[in-house]
């Protein structure tokens, strides 16, 4: 076999051939497809299973010789991916779904709210407030006051805590459509027909009912009032009651009477019961009556039908004070009975006397009869 078929040779005498090509073992590239993949599969079953396996083993051996670190990493990965022995089956506990609305997603730490979104939300709230009060701002509505509807010797004076925004804007008492006052007033029979806040000025003349508040200042809610304002308002209310002297001072809400009772009578009211109270306004015959707040926010009595009972009792108290109904007192009555007169009356109206019936007594109270009912 000639030497030039085996490899290249250096210049000079041809003493020893240089086996350059056969002495280098090249690692096959993993990015190129082997030549046998393009060939048709052999018909021999032995070559189909053994030949690819032998080629793979040769590639792994070459990789181990030239890249020992890479081989170690592959062994570690193969150990990690080995299937683990099957253990006992784990019991999956079902998660109970919570009722109600899902909680709002909290902002991530360090994330500041978008200023543009805040400005847009503030603009929407301002627009709703303007639409609610026909272009007036909340500050302008709060500058308004609600005049009392009161006169001397009223039957009932309804007392609230202070005017709300809608009351000050409308200029009438209890104008909120969700308030239960006007509905309960009609259902209890204190008015002959269903009225609204537009009729508040006519109630003193037609039904002897008036309106006032403990504090005159308008606020979005009663929580916006200071304790000093409430105490001063209680003193002004006392002077007002002494002046106009209504028969009944009806406090629309338990919190109002608690403050008034402490400031006026020096008694800290505990466990108050709705209805007639044991104290009268000093120097007058005005009695105090406590009823639940007509606001729909009243948690204890959220519906109008829950409050009608106290309005009915208010009407009964008014009628009792005015002498329109008899008092609930026991009167002794003497009865007399004359048997002879009773018999004569029985004959006159053709009532037969009851005769002794032996069959009735023998049958245990039921008269026996042969007649069978159809």
Report the catalytic residues: 162, 173
Cα distances from 310 to residues 4, 200, 293, in angstroms, run: 124, 20, 11
Task: Find the radius of gyration of the CA atoms of the chain.
Answer: 51
Measured from the Cβ of residue 355, the count of other Cβ atoms closer than 10 Å reads: 6
Residue with tokens 């730490």, as numbered in its chain? 109
Report in angstroms the alpha-carbon separations of 21 from 6, 58, 64, 240: 8, 20, 22, 122
Cα distances (angstroms) measured from residue 208 to each of 69, 233, 315, 357:
104, 24, 12, 66
Taking the C-alpha atoms of residue 45 and residue 166, their distance in angstroms, rounded to an integer, is 95
Q: Are strands 287-291 and 209-213 parallel, antiparallel or unpaired?
A: unpaired
């Amino acid at each position: 076999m000639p030497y030039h078929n085996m490899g290249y040779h250096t210049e000079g005498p041809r003493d020893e051939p240089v086996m350059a090509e056969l002495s280098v073992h090249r690692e096959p590239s993993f990015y190129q497809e082997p030549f046998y993949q393009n060939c048709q599969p052999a018909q021999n079953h032995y070559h189909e299973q053994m030949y690819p396996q032998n080629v793979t083993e040769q590639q792994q051996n070459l990789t181990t010789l030239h890249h020992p670190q890479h081989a170690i990493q592959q062994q570690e990965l193969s150990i990690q991916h080995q299937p683990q022995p099957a253990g006992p089956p784990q019991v999956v506990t079902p998660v109970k779904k919570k009722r109600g609305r899902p909680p709002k997603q909290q902002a991530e730490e360090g994330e500041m709210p978008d200023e543009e979104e805040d400005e847009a939300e503030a603009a929407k709230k301002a627009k709703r407030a303007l639409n609610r009060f026909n272009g007036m701002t909340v500050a302008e509505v709060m500058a308004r006051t609600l005049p009392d509807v009161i006169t001397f010797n009223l039957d009932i004076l309804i007392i609230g805590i202070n005017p709300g925004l809608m009351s000050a804007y409308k200029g009438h008492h209890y104008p909120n459509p969700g308030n239960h006052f006007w509905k309960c007033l009609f259902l209890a029979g204190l008015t002959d027909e269903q009225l609204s806040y537009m009729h508040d000025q006519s109630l003193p003349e037609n039904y002897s009912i008036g309106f006032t508040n403990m504090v005159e200042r308008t606020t979005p809610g009663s929580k916006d009032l200071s304790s000093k304002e409430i105490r001063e308002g209680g003193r002004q209310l006392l002077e007002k009651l002494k002046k106009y002297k209504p028969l009944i001072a009806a406090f629309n809400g338990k919190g109002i009477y608690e403050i008034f009772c402490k400031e006026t009578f020096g008694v800290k009211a505990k466990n108050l019961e709705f209805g007639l109270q044991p104290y009268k306004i000093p120097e007058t015959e005005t009695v105090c009556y406590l009823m639940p707040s007509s606001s729909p926010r009243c948690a204890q009595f959220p519906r109008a039908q829950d409050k009608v009972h106290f309005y009915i009792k208010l009407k009964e108290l008014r009628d009792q004070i005015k002498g329109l109904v008899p008092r609930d007192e026991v009167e002794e009555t003497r009865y007399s009975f004359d048997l002879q007169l009773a018999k004569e009356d029985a004959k006159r109206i053709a009532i037969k006397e009851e005769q002794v019936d032996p069959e009735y007594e023998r049958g245990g109270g039921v008269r026996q009869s042969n007649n069978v009912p159809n």
